[in-house]
């Protein structure tokens, strides 16, 4: 199984940015933890981070025919981007949405996700564990359906 892990804007600043909200881990440490977990699950992950919306849309397009599923933390684009949602719908790959913070505990503009309605599910509020749980859930879903 091949999974595309997509990190959205500002997530390159993890470990520096708003540590009380997002924790101390860097993006590289998160990616390393995902790769470790994936090795045990006999699959491959490719991790990408993009600050621009168009680059995320293009990364989603390039998953078509190459990946079995997408794990995405779209960052602030979660709450704004019809284009990212349409790209995810367009490639028709199973999607799991994750967030480090609990978006429902925060400002009301973070309570709406354009991605959630087209995702299998969403995991929010568990820091690194949101990613690890999300990857595990995506793999289990793919094993059941493929």
- Which phi and psi (to 5°) does residue 69 adopt? -170, 165
Instruction: Specify the stretch interacting with ligand DQA by CB under 6 A; choose among 28-36, 42-50, 58-66, 72-80.
Output: 72-80
Dmax (CA) of the chain: 40
Give yes or no for a contact between 137 and 111, defined as CB atoms under 8 angstroms apart.
no
**Which residue from 81, 99, 138, 142 is in contact with ligand DQA, where contact means CB under 6 A?**
99
CB proximity list for 17: less than 8 A, separation 6 or greater: 10
Please give the structure tokens belonging to residue 52: 């621009």
Instruction: Specify the stretch interacting with ligand DQA by CB under 6 A; choose among 32-40, 73-81, 87-95, 132-140.
Output: 73-81
For ligand DQA, the closer CB: 105 or 145: 105
Active site annotation includes 61:
no
Residues making contact with ligand DQA (CB under 6 A): 10, 73, 75-76, 78, 99-101, 103, 110
């Amino acid at each position: 199984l091949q999974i595309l892990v997509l990190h959205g804007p500002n997530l390159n600043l993890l470990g520096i940015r708003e540590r009380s909200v997002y924790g101390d881990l860097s993006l590289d440490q998160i990616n390393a933890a995902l790769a470790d977990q994936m090795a045990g699950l006999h699959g491959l992950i490719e991790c990408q981070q993009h600050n621009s919306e168009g680059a995320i849309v293009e990364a989603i397009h390039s998953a078509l025919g190459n990946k079995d599923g997408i794990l995405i933390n779209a960052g602030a684009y979660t709450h704004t981007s019809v284009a990212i949602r349409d790209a995810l719908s367009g490639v028709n790959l199973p999607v799991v949405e994750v967030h480090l913070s609990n978006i429902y505990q925060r400002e009301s503009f973070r309570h709406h996700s354009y991605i959630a309605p087209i995702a299998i599910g969403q995991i929010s509020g568990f820091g690194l564990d949101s990613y690890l749980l999300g990857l595990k859930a995506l793999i289990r879903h793919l094993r059941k359906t493929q």
